[in-house]
Amino acid sequence: MTQSEELIQQHQQSDLYGEKWQAFAFRHHLALFLLYGCIPACLALFVLSEFWLHQPELMACLMAVWLILMFASIWWAGEFRCPRCSRRYAALGGGRSISLTRGLFDKICPNCRLAKFETHPL
């Protein structure tokens, strides 16, 4: 393989890493938005119910939907696969982990040591 072919292959792999990290960034930001917005949203729904709509059952259902979406998005972010080793990012060995925030706050993949948002291959 010539040097130019190697450079083209590295560039293509770098683009693939970039696309995967963009997908992770979306998952990550959605999970953090729902996580950090949970208490303000529930308080806003409570106040809305208490002083304006007077429908506590509806507001309780909306709070439950927010919580379900929050846990689902955190799980979805934790299921992200590392672009290099294809194991779950921040899950040692790709095995099952009970950590709810797995991968949200980790800086490197413990399996292959790929730094978060790193775009160049090995």
Could you read off the pLDDT of 65-75 as tens digits, one per residue?
Answer: 999 999 999 88
pTM of the prediction? 0.70
Q: How far apart are the first and last CA of the chain?
A: 17
Inter-residue contact 74 to 86 (CB < 8 Å)? no
* 28 class by beta-carbon count within 10 Å (0-12 exposed, 13-18 middle, 19+ buried): buried
pLDDT tens digits along 53-63? 777 788 888 88
d(CA 114, CA 106): 11
- The pLDDT score that the predictor gives to residue 4 is 59
**Angle at Cα 113 formed by Cα 112 and Cα 119, nearest 5°?**
95
Enclosing H/E stretch for 71? helix 56-78
- The pLDDT score that the predictor gives to residue 7 is 53
Beta bridge partners of residue 88, listed in sequence order = 81
* 76 class by beta-carbon count within 10 Å (0-12 exposed, 13-18 middle, 19+ buried): middle
